[in-house]
Amino acid sequence: MSVIPSEPCYWLKNACVPLSMLQVQDQSIGQSRTPEGLCLVDIQVAEGKVAQIVRANSVSIADMAVVDVQGGQVWAGFVDVHTHLDKGHIWQRTPNLEGTFDQALERVKQDSLQYWQAEDVYRRMEFGLRCSYAHGTQAIRTHIDSFGEQARISFGVFKQLQQEWANRLVLQAVSLVSLDYYLTPEGVKLADLVADVGGVLGGVAYMNPDIEAQLDQVFRLAQERDLALDFHTDETDNPESICLRKVAEAALRFQFGRQIVCGHCCSLAVQSPEDVAETLALVKQARIGVVSLPLSNLYLQDRKLGRTPRWRGVTLIQELLESGIGVTLASDNCRDPFFGFGDHDLLEVFNQGVRVAHLDGVYGESPAMVTKTAADLMGLGNVGRIGVGLAANLVWFKGRSYSELLSRPQCDRVVIRDGVAIDTTLPDYRELDGLSS
């Protein structure tokens, strides 16, 4: 692939850009899109921003450097709205050989009690950030295990990394505890800590007799501190798990004004059509965004030793899209007991999401799930889009059609940040050697 010029102004010619992430005034650009929703355009980059977007070969270019993309795809930088950087890269020292959800919980708990001091958490989180950045991600939200003293340690590490990466990545942090924790004085202190770091209040919702009281307390704490909310809900194949609906009902009770995000929502896929319709109507009314985590849900859901899984584990992505609900795909866990693989690459996540949920029929909107829609759920305005006046944070892939893009790993992608191609060398796993000593 051609090298991005060092000049401050240049053109990317003959670039295929998904219409779903284009922000343009010229309506003819969208009208000429391919059946897959790709628009062939020329993009002018000047002083780190997008200066022009025109139909390919529609204007003459003189006295300026030109890179011919040759029909390859150019995307906005990725936005990863649901990760667990604090858990990442502990698989080698604490594997989950059974592969079950319950065992993952137990193994992470053991690992945290033994190892999760500031240096350990910093090295693993920073490793994950470098992987994400090299793959083309520009914004990340991470959930942080927040029981007791661990909240102070891990949020302290997060704040340090947030400062160190301020010019490269937008970082957001979400507290992660079971919702009953917020009914305790320690839970109230945690809400104050989240507010102090400008974070998002969150937790894992489980069906139990006190679920409404727990949600009311969380919403009350968030409203008092003007915090957005982010929940883990219904990460199970039990159709009786309706935490997503409970969150929506609480949001409407409180007339909650900030963004709410719910991740996983797996049990929707095993509920009756009538129950699904009622839940989706409430979710849409409450303006809740949903995050599907295809890698970890494929890995954990319906796992029983010696038995092939019977379902895919993901939520009803197509039905959520059809209902007009904001849906995204995200990385979730990476090389830890909840998912033993992964490399913080949202192209891999998108690829798996397309295959698992049959999103190839809705390519037009699906690329926004790892760019524009994810940015909107994080409250990041114009991030995740390609538009005149916006930062030239782009990812250039050799793949022209989606079949080409998703059939090879695109390891030769070019990542452009503020108009400049960055070094996409991934960190070496050997850097993590010795963490268990």
Specify whether the CB–CB gap between 179 and 204 falls below 8 A: yes
List Cα–Cα distances, 419 to 34, 46, 49, 137, in angstroms: 27, 7, 6, 15
* Dihedral sign (CA 261, 330, 280, 366): positive
Q: In the numeric block, which tokens belong to residue 36? A: 């897959």
The SS3 assignment for 10 reads: strand
Nearest to 43 by CA among 4, 78, 90, 79: 4
DSSP characters for 192-249? HHHHHTT-BEEEEE---TTHHHHHHHHHHHHHHHT--EEEEE--SS-TT--HHHHHHH
Q: Is 365 a catalytic residue?
A: no
Cross-strand partners of 232: 204, 263
Q: Please say whether the beta carbons of 182 and 250 come within 8 A.
A: no
For the sheet with 170-176, list strands across it: 78-83, 137-145, 170-176
Helix residue ranges, H only, 68-148 = 101-115, 118-135
| CB within 8 Å of 209: residues ≥ 6 apart | none
Rounded CA separation 274/259 (Å)? 26
User: How far separated are the first and last CA of the chain, in Å rounded?
Assistant: 42
Residue 97 tokens, joined: 């050989």
DSSP type of residue 48: T
Q: Residue 429: how many CB atoms within 10 A of its CB? A: 11
Please report, for residues 18, 316, 322, 369, the alpha-carbon distance to residue 362 in angstroms, rounded to integers and kept in the order given.
Answer: 12, 14, 10, 12
Q: Contact at 8 Å (CB) between 162 and 171?
A: yes
- Active-site annotation holder among 7, 119, 186, 235: 235
Backbone torsion region of residue 255, taken as left when φ is above 0, otherwise alpha when ψ lies between -120 and 50, otherwise beta = left
User: Any idea which residue has 């192209």 for tokens?
Assistant: 347
User: Which positions are catalytic?
Assistant: 235
